[in-house]
A and B are shown apart, each in its own frame.
Chain A
Amino acid sequence: KQEVTQIPAALSVPEGENLVLNCSFTDSAIYNLQWFRQDPGKGLTSLLLIQSSQREQTSGRLNASLDKSSGRSTLYIAASQPGDSATYLCAVNGGGADGLTFGKGTHLIIQP
């Protein structure tokens, strides 16, 4: 059974810092990996999707990398801002139509 772990569970940093969120998964036979953002009391917003054949994806200040063989992904946030404060979720797709397996998330606070 696929298991997804996110480290750290919580992170608080001053504004302007570059930071890295980590995601690991136990079964490397994935189809893709998706990073989401969740604001308190809200739904999930997709940030980046990396196909299993890709090494990284970028969107603005966000960069996600994927090392499928080692079962790891990182989300890099450059020049963090208070508006980046949220919970970040990592999820893997095993390739079927049977949904995503999620990590428990990293709760990020950016201090002004």
Chain B
Amino acid sequence: DAKTTQPNSMESNEEEPVHLPCNHSTISGTDYIHWYRQLPSQGPEYVIHGLTSNVNNRMASLAIAEDRKSSTLILHRATLRDAAVYYCILKIGGGSNYKLTFGKGTLLTVNP
């Protein structure tokens, strides 16, 4: 399975932007990059996903490097409710019959 590497933890201040990096140097051409987050004592929540182009939605932006070996999840203005573990996961292949394997993720702490 293609692997991702994320920092164990990051810290941010409220209302400031946060850039969460992810390395996936063994990514192949059809692998999608997915981001999920998990708040304490809850199930994970989908954040965003992309293939090649940068993506934006109401929660975040995803910036994908041109060589696709890395990506960055951008929270434009962190709030205390964004404190969570953020997981960068590769969806292997372009097919619909996929499963997601979680790594350790990045624990984001947001300071008031």
Q: Report if A and B associate in a common complex.
A: no
